[in-house]
Each structure stands twice: as C-alpha cells, then as structure tokens.
Amino acid sequence: MDFVDYYKTLGIDKKASEADIKKAYRKLARKYHPDLNPNDTEAEKRFKEINEANEVLSNAENRKKYDSYGKDWKHAEEFEKAKQQQKSQGGYQRSGSQQFSEDDFSDFFGSMFGGAGGRRGNVQFRGQDYQASLHLNLKDVYHTHKRTLTVNGKNIRLTIPAGVKNGQTIRIKGHGGEGVNDGPKGDLLITFEIDNDTQFKRDGDNLYATVDLDMYKAILGGKLVVDSFDGKVKLTIKPETQNGDQVKLKKKGFPKYKKEGEFGDLIVTFNVKTPTNLTEKEKELFNELSKMR
C-alpha cells in the first residue's frame, strides 16, 4: 500500500485548521464532482481521493493518528500497545536478542511504514476490532437461536444464547480487520440493543407484571389466570388481598444467560379495581356492609 499525502490531496499545509480543511474540501469537491464532470474518469478518481482525505483529516482523532503513523494510521492502537509492551520489557526488541532504545523508535516505525530498516518489517500486529449493533426484541432472546449477520460483505452464522441483556457485548474472534504483516485478525464485537414491547418489565433475570384484580375476588379470594412470558399460569388469590400486593412465581421469569434450564422469577403486582356504574341495589348492599363495619 503506497503512502498517500492527504494534506497534498487537499492542497493544504499540515498546520491547517479545521476551517481550512473544510474550505479546501468544499472547493475541490465542487470542482471535481461527477455531476459537473460527466464521463470524466480522472475527475471521478480525484473526487474519491478528496473525499478519502477529508474523512481522515476532518476527524480530529483520525488526523492525529494519521500525523503519527502515516498510511498505517488505522493500526495506531496496535502500534501503541506494542510500544508499551516492549517498553515494559526493557526496550524495543530487534531480531534476535538485541535491543534498541527509545532514540531508535522512529527507525523502528519507519520499518513499519516501508522506510529504512525494512529487514524489521516482519513484526506482526493484530488487526483492528470491528464494532456492530444488533437490534432484537425481548421475545427474540427468550430462546437460544441462530442468526446470520452480514459484516463487511461476509455472512457470519451466530448463535445467540437465551438471556442476552440489553447493552451486552459479545466477542466473535477472528472476524475483525486484517492484521499487519500477517498478524492475527481482530475480533468482531456485537452489542445487543433489545426492545421490549411486551407487558413485562425486565430487571436482570426477573420479570415484573401488573395484573388487574376485581374487588370481589380481592376480598373473597379465588382463582385467576394470568399471562407469563411462555404461557398462562393459574393463581390462587388469597382472601383480603390488598391493592399493590405481590406474588412471586418462581422460575417463571427470564432465562439466565448461558445457564441452561435456569430462570429468574415473575413478580406479579395486583391492581385492585373498584366497580363502577353500581345499581341502586348494589349501592344499598354496600351501605349495609359499611354499617356492619
């Protein structure tokens, strides 16, 4: 890979400000835009080069890496890690048992960029990790299932364990960027974004639900069928159940991540409903009850 001077591409100095970069980019982009240069392959090529240069130099973090590492700026983190690792070992290793000091560091990285000292250019560095997000529904992660993802044009068959949590990140080894000098590939890090359009609130492995309970059943007790995440459950309502009382249904919650057959609990909160549109007879009976109390 040849070195491309992005500053030269935009016709600016290395000390150019953000405003200078933006101004130069806009001027050149207008000049070489394909709409203004139909069927001009040279203009199209220049337009792509200008966009590439702008994407790097207009981003402060990427510009800093580019200024330090040139064409290998994408591997800046790997170089820094290698630098710190070798520093902690008492110096930067040459081939064999020889060492070289911090003063020789620029020469060491010169070899990485294809400059002098090319005999040391076989040092390997791990590729970059890729980041990706996967949007799922809460129902999708109640059971372990497989899904095919397309990352950088490649299909990856992924097993998603039941119980994955919102915001959780898993690592797929060897599906990241290419390494430097035949170094190992980076990894693919997938962060799960889980939407919940169910009646249940999830907190860790437990589920919470609010269930309406008519006043008569709350007072006298009885049977009530409620929804759990995987079906219906019959509850026994105790007499004199109060509004806000809760009952815990063990192992009726959410699957525990990578713990086959283990589940959290379902906590049901009762919302006692007061009857409305009472008849005169009903009002009369309630009056009698109130006098008895």
pLDDT at 17: 93
When mean pLDDT is compared across 176-185, 187-196, 213-222, the lowest value belongs to: 176-185
CB 210 within 8 A of CB 269: yes
pLDDT at 91: 44
- The values of phi and psi at residue 168, to 5°, are -70, 145
**pLDDT (mean) for 1-28:** 87
Place of tokens 């809760």: 246
| Distance (Å) of CA 119 to CA 1, 111, 114 | 17, 7, 10
| Distance (Å) of CA 150 to CA 20, 132, 169 | 38, 10, 17
| Residue 87: band (very low, low, confident or very high) from pLDDT cuts 50, 70, 90 | low
Asked whether residue 47 carries a pLDDT value surpassing 70, the answer given is yes
Any residues with CB less than 8 A from the CB of 41 and at least 6 apart, and which?
Answer: none
What radius of gyration, in Å, describes the C-alpha atoms of the chain?
A: 33
HEC letters along 218-286: HHHCEEEEEEECCEEEEEEECCCCCCCCEEEECCCCCECCCCCCCECCEEEEEEEECCCCCCHHHHHHH
C-alpha 287, offset from chain centre: 60
**pLDDT (mean) for 74-91:** 63
Asked whether residue 59 carries a pLDDT value surpassing 70, the answer given is yes
Q: pLDDT (tens digit, 9 = 90+) per residue, 230-287? A: 999 999 999 999 999 999 999 999 999 999 999 999 999 999 999 999 999 989 998 9
Q: pLDDT (tens digit, 9 = 90+) per residue, 18-43? A: 999 999 999 998 898 887 888 888 88
Asked whether residue 176 carries a pLDDT value surpassing 90, the answer given is no
Q: pLDDT (tens digit, 9 = 90+) per residue, 127-150? A: 888 888 899 999 999 999 999 888
**pLDDT (mean) for 164-171:** 93
pLDDT at 108: 47
CB 258 within 8 A of CB 210: no
Asked whether residue 217 carries a pLDDT value surpassing 80, the answer given is yes
When mean pLDDT is compared across 75-84, 99-108, 116-125, 164-173, the lowest value belongs to: 99-108
Any residues with CB less than 8 A from the CB of 284 and at least 6 apart, and which?
Answer: none
pTM (2 d.p.) = 0.58
Place of tokens 């759990």: 228
Asked whether residue 167 carries a pLDDT value surpassing 50, the answer given is yes
When mean pLDDT is compared across 73-77, 142-146, 213-217, 258-262, the lowest value belongs to: 73-77
Domains and CATH numbers, the chain: 6-120 (1.10.287.110), 130-195 (2.60.260.20), 201-273 (2.60.260.20)
* Residues pairing with 21 in the sheet: none
